[in-house]
Amino acid sequence: MGAADTIISGILPEGGQRLDKALADATDLSRERVKALLGEGRVSLSGKVVSQASVKVTEGAVFEIRVPEAAPAEAVAQDIPLLVVYEDDALIVVDKPAGLVVHPAAGNADGTLVNALLHHCRGQLSGIGGVARPGIVHRIDKDTSGLLVVAKTDVAHEGLANQFADHSIVRAYKCVTAGSPVPVAGTVRGAIARSSHDRKKMALVEEGRGKHAVTHYKTLAALDGAALVECRLETGRTHQVRVHLASIGHPLLGDPVYGRTPSKLRPLVQRLGFHRQALHAAELGFIHPVSGERLHFTSSTPVDMRELIVELCAEGQDAKIMAMV
């Protein structure tokens, strides 16, 4: 084992549990990380190396775990400004501007939120799966703005991922649609999968082929040829809000993929230089995966969307509507 290993040791207070669960409860490691360390022969119980996660432990058993130093992330740290809404030792919540890609990928090798977080959180990342990287548990599109939570530890990553998986995370978006939805409030249900005609797009497909998706929408205000709409997500599929609203005939203004700006509004959109989907992740709530505290955050609509909304308001209507954003 390496000289840089961190040794975690202790006594298991009760028996009868699976080894992976008992060790996760007794340490700051996630069960998945414990399983990986068991597989690498880095765990001993009462002086003997063990590898099976399902072994039942006995009360008072002495354990030792040798945790290797977190490997450096492949992405490079870059000093990119971040708007931090909340941060502690386990996680960070940021308000992402439109135009910033979340994760490095083909065509975006750097200049991403991950690169920014590697710089901002340097020395604070205990390792996600053994790699010193921020734990991305959800994403928002490059040209969508708003709130995003990122894990800094393995335990936080697993806890947040579980909440996203069981749909207990609170997520609300504000958007501007082409035309006003009828009815003014409702629920869109429809499975989403990669389009068979254009691999860069998502599409509604028959249930069973894609991933089940549910969006609850509510019209906050009717605008001139458009509407200010709030969407609350039960699920979080790629492009979910964009695909679902387009499916009911009301795509987002500015969306270059799923809609076309109505001819009446094109001069306005061009004059404002508004060249992205009018979509903002305005609300985010979850249970802190370590403290158990319920956290809730809101984000004001960014300037470019506010300017668009003001221009679409009827005379005398703007003060009331802007109070909603």
Same domain for 178 and 240: yes
Give the torsion sign (CA, 213, 214, 219, 220). Answer: negative
Same domain for 318 and 224: yes
Note down the domain range covering 80.
73-166
Tell me how many domains the chain contains. Answer: 3
Same domain for 307 and 187: yes
Q: Last residue of a domain, which of 68, 93, 115?
A: 68
CB 163 within 8 A of CB 149: no
3-state SS assignment for residue 244: helix
What would the two tokens of residue 248 be? 């009911």
Same domain for 300 and 217: yes
Q: How many CB atoms lie within 10 A of CB 10?
A: 13
Q: Last residue of a domain, which of 21, 40, 68?
A: 68
Is 89 among the residues known to form the active site? no
Read out DSSP for 8-45? EEEE-S-SSSBHHHHHHHHSS--HHHHHHHHHTT-EEE
Q: What is the mean pLDDT of residues 120-142?
A: 79
Same domain for 272 and 214: yes
Q: Last residue of a domain, which of 121, 142, 166?
A: 166
d(CA 52, CA 38): 7
pLDDT digits (tens, 9 = 90+) for 6-48: 888 888 988 888 999 889 888 878 788 888 888 888 899 888 8
d(CA 286, CA 86): 13
* CATH code for the domain in which residue 116 is found: 3.30.2350.10
Same domain for 192 and 297: yes
d(CA 214, CA 243): 11
Q: What is the pLDDT of residue 46?
A: 87
Q: What is the pLDDT of residue 72?
A: 59
Does pLDDT of 324 surpass 80? no
Does pLDDT of 110 surpass 90? no
**Which residue is associated with the tokens 């249900």?**
189
pLDDT band at 3, cuts 50/70/90? low
Same domain for 304 and 268: yes
Same domain for 42 and 126: no
Does pLDDT of 323 surpass 60? yes
Active-site residue, from 20, 95, 141, 304: 141
3-state SS assignment for residue 174: strand
Same domain for 286 and 175: yes
pLDDT band at 98, cuts 50/70/90? very high
Does pLDDT of 2 surpass 80? no
Q: What is the pLDDT of residue 128?
A: 62
Same domain for 180 and 293: yes
Same domain for 211 and 308: yes
Q: What is the mean pLDDT of residues 225-249?
A: 95
* CATH code for the domain in which residue 17 is found: 3.10.290.10
Q: How many residues does the chain have?
A: 325
Q: What is the mean pLDDT of residues 182-210?
A: 89
Q: What is the pLDDT of residue 188?
A: 97
pLDDT band at 70, cuts 50/70/90? low
Q: Which residues contact 63 (CB under 8 A, 6 or more apart)?
A: 9, 10, 11, 12, 23, 26, 43, 44, 45
Residues of the chain with pLDDT > 70, as a percent, come to 94
Same domain for 320 and 225: yes
Mean residue pLDDT across the chain: 89
